[in-house]
Amino acid sequence: MALQAAVLPCTLSVPQKHKGNLAAVVKDTAFLTVHQKQSTQKPRVPSLSVRAQAVATAPVATPGASTSTSANKKTLRQGVVVITGASSGLGLAAAKALAETGKWHVVMACRDFLKAAKAAKGAGMAEGSYTIMHLDLASLDSVRQFVDNFRRAGMPLDALVCNAAIYRPTARTPTFSADGYEMSVGVNHLGHFLLARLLLDDLRKSDYPSRRLVILGSITGNTNTLAGNIPPKAGLGDLRGLAGGLRGQNGSAMIDGSESFDGAKAYKDSKICNMLTMQELHRRYHEETGITFASLYPGCIATTGLFREHIPLFRLLFPPFQKFITKGFVSEAESGKRLAQVVSDPSLTKSGVYWSWNKDSASFENQLSQEASDPEKARKLWEISEKFVGLA
C-alpha cells in the first residue's frame, strides 16, 4: 500500500502545500522549527511529535512529553501506547478507554487508514488524543515500515498492544500473506512477532515507570476450558507445518502439518502462538529490561468484526447464545476497559501473566493449558518464527 503509511496525528492539519503528500510533512523541518519555539515544554521528545503537536487543533499535551503543574512540579508525562487493529472492536474500545483518561496518547496502528479515522471519530475520541499510522500485519515490509515511521515520529513507546487479528472460520482453502505464510498465522502471529521484537528496543528506551507489551490470547486456544474443547481444537503438534513454511502447496498451511486446511483451527493455533510468544518474551527479557509482558482473555466480545466471515446464522445467534447461555458475553466497551487495565493499571505489573476476569469484573491470573504454557514449544516457535521474519 502506498505511503499513506505516513504518520497522521488525528489533529494534524496538513498545510495546503503538502496536501496529498503527507510524507512531505514529515520532512519539512522549517515548518517544525517555528512551532518548536512556541512550545513551552522541554524538548525531550524528538522533533516530529513537537511539530505534529504544534499544528494540533486542540490544546493537548505533546505525546510523550513531560508535564508540569502550575507549581512547576514535574508530574508523570503522558504515556504513548501503540495498539494494532484499533479500527474496530476491542482495539478501538481500548484506544478510546485509554485516550479518555488523558494519561495516554494512542497510536492506532491500522491497515485501513480511513476506516480507522472514521472509527475514532465515531467513537467520540478527542482530537489530539490519538495518531493513526498505517500497519498491515499481512506484510513484513509493512511492519518494518511502520516501525520506521513510528520512530521518525519521535514519540517514546511506553506500551505496545498486539491486538489485531483475523478469523476465517468458513475458509476451506488457505490464503497467504505478502510473504507467503498462511494468513491467520501470518497476521495474528508472525506480523506481531516481528513488530514486538523490533519495538522491544523502543520499550527498553522508555523512561516510563511501567512499560508493557500485551498480546491478545483467547479461551479458545486453551484446551483446559469448555470453550477450548469445541471442535476444531487448537493444537500445534510438533510444529512441522510451521517449520515447513506454512505455504500450503509443497507442505501444509497448518502449523501441526495437517494436510487439510481448517480456518477456525488456524485462528485458534495462532492464539496459542500469541500466548507462547508472550511467555517466551517474559523469559528472555523481563528480568533484563523490567518490561511487563502480559496476555489476556478479554471475555467473549460476540459483536465484533472478528466474526465477519462467519455464516449469517452464527452472527445472529452467537451474541444471545453467549449472553444468555454461556454468560461469557462481554460488551466491546467493557472489554476495552479490561484491556486498558492490562496496559495501565498500576496493580497489574506482574509479568508473564495471562489475565482473565470473573463475573464481578475483577481481574485474576488465569491458568493456561498445558500446550499454551509449554516452554519447549515456546522456544521452538520462537526460533522458527525468528527465521521467517528475517531476524535470524
The span from the CA of 31 to the CA of 121, in Å, is 27
User: Counting contacts by CB under 6 A, is residue 369 touching ligand PMR?
Assistant: no
Q: Please, what is the angle between helix 140-153 and helix 192-205, to 10°?
A: 20
Could you tell me the smallest distance in angstroms from the CB atom of residue 263 to ligand PMR? 9
Could you tell me the smallest distance in angstroms from the CB atom of residue 77 to ligand NDP? 28
Cell (9 digits) for 178: 505478502
Q: Which stretch binds ligand PMR (CB under 6 A): 38-46, 114-122, 172-180, 212-220?
A: 212-220
- Which one of 301, 342, 343, 384 is in contact with ligand NDP (CB under 6 A)? 301
Ranges assigned E (strand) in the chain:
7-9, 67-68, 74-75, 79-84, 104-110, 130-134, 159-162, 212-216, 292-296, 353-357, 363-365
From the list ligand NDP, ligand PMR, none, which binds 334 (C-beta under 5 to 8 Å, kind-based)? Answer: none
From the list ligand PMR, ligand NDP, none, which binds 169 (C-beta under 5 to 8 Å, kind-based)? Answer: ligand PMR
The span from the CA of 210 to the CA of 103, in Å, is 13
Q: How many Cβ atoms sit within 10 Å of the Cβ of residue 207?
A: 11
Cell (9 digits) for 137: 500485519
**Cβ proximity of 79 and 155 under 8 Å:** no
Residue nearest to ligand PMR (CB): 328
Ranges assigned E (strand) in 126-277:
130-134, 159-162, 212-216
From the list ligand PMR, ligand NDP, none, which binds 230 (C-beta under 5 to 8 Å, kind-based)? Answer: ligand PMR
- Which one of 9, 89, 169, 186 is in contact with ligand PMR (CB under 6 A)? 169
- DSSP for residue 234: P
From the list ligand PMR, ligand NDP, none, which binds 164 (C-beta under 5 to 8 Å, kind-based)? Answer: ligand NDP
Segment 213 to 252, residues that bind ligand NDP, using CB under 6 A: 216, 218
Segment 251 to 290, residues that bind ligand PMR, using CB under 6 A: 264, 267-268
- Which one of 9, 91, 169, 241 is in contact with ligand NDP (CB under 6 A)? 91
From the list ligand PMR, ligand NDP, none, which binds 150 (C-beta under 5 to 8 Å, kind-based)? Answer: none
From the list ligand PMR, ligand NDP, none, which binds 216 (C-beta under 5 to 8 Å, kind-based)? Answer: ligand NDP
Could you tell me the smallest distance in angstroms from the CB atom of residue 313 to ligand PMR? 11
Segment 217 to 246, residues that bind ligand PMR, using CB under 6 A: 218-220, 226-227, 230
Cell (9 digits) for 88: 474496530
Compute the half-sphere exposure of residue 361: CA atoms within 13 Å on the CB side of its CA.
11
Could you tell me the smallest distance in angstroms from the CB atom of residue 208 to ligand PMR? 30
The span from the CA of 69 to the CA of 51, in Å, is 23
**Cβ proximity of 167 and 218 under 8 Å:** no
- Residue labelled with grid coordinates 511492519: 143
CA Rg value for the chain: 21
Segment 298 to 327, residues that bind ligand PMR, using CB under 6 A: 300, 306, 326
In this structure, which amino acid lies at residue 342?
V
Cell (9 digits) for 111: 491497515
In this structure, which amino acid lies at residue 82?
V
Segment 105 to 164, residues that bind ligand NDP, using CB under 6 A: 110-112, 115, 135-138, 163-164
- Residue labelled with grid coordinates 496536501: 19
Residue 74 or 115 having the CB closest to ligand NDP: 115
Residue 106 or 264 having the CB closest to ligand PMR: 264
Q: Which residues bind ligand NDP (CB under 6 A)?
A: 84-85, 87-91, 110-112, 115, 135-138, 163-166, 187, 216, 218, 271, 297-298, 300-302, 304-306
Q: Which residues bind ligand PMR (CB under 6 A)?
A: 167, 169, 218-220, 226-227, 230, 264, 267-268, 300, 306, 326, 328
